[in-house]
Amino acid sequence: MNNNKTKVAVLVSGGGTNLQAILDAEKTGIIKSGEVVLVVSNKTGAFALERAAKAGVKGVTITRKAAGSQEAFEEQLTKTLEETGIQLIVLAGFMSILSPEFIKRWDRKIINVHPSLIPSFCGQGFYGLKVHEAALAKGVKVSGATVHYVNEIPDGGEIIFQKAVRVYPNDTPEKLQLRIMKQAEWKLLPAAVEKLSAEIISK
């Protein structure tokens, strides 16, 4: 653990492909100012935790079901984050809406990646393949990804980075999802982690 680096926690719910992109960017030196020191899953047995273990990063599972309520879940989460000295939180495929109180506590310290060009196809109910299904149903020619600060409105926080990705006539939601991940999400998210980590340690 490097004391000159921003301590980053990544919150996950599933496979952790965006987590992998961050870990890889750390290894290749794209992320120089931050270090992932904690991965938290809100789903038992999430593959993302195996990715964390492989990278030598501490992984923990905190579920709302086990905690008993959203409040208790967030209390446990806050305790874990604070004990680890976390300075930046990255939501990477984290399928749980956090309360306004939690978000306020970590104001401008939580970022999320969304698989569309916000304000298109975002907000409540738009996640995973649903975003790409909606984009294709609308017939858009360009989609992409957005990294933004998290505020109390789902996908409503200030935009940090966006990248456009072309949509092709024969696209399926799965094809479009993969292209957006490869061309946008996996590039933007590490870039945002580096940008904010550098800002945090320079303060």
Mean pLDDT of all residues in 13-17: 94
Domain region containing 30: 6-202
Task: Please give the tally of structural domains in the chain.
Answer: 1
Residue 23 is assigned to a structural domain of this protein: yes
Residue 64 is assigned to a structural domain of this protein: yes
pLDDT score at 97 = 86
Task: Name the residue with tokens 């094809």.
Answer: 175
pLDDT at 185 over 90: yes
Helix (H, G, I), strand (E, B) or coil at 200: helix
CA distance 40 to 46: 10
CA distance 155 to 179: 21
CA distance 69 to 62: 11
CA distance 63 to 42: 5
Structure confidence at residue 33 as a pLDDT band (50, 70, 90): very high
Residue 1 is assigned to a structural domain of this protein: no
Q: How much is the pTM?
A: 0.95
pLDDT at 1 over 80: no
Q: In this predicted model, which residue has the larger pLDDT, 193 or 95?
A: 193
Residue 125 is assigned to a structural domain of this protein: yes
Residue 17 is assigned to a structural domain of this protein: yes
**Which residues belong to the active site?**
114
> Residue 37: which CATH number?
3.40.50.170
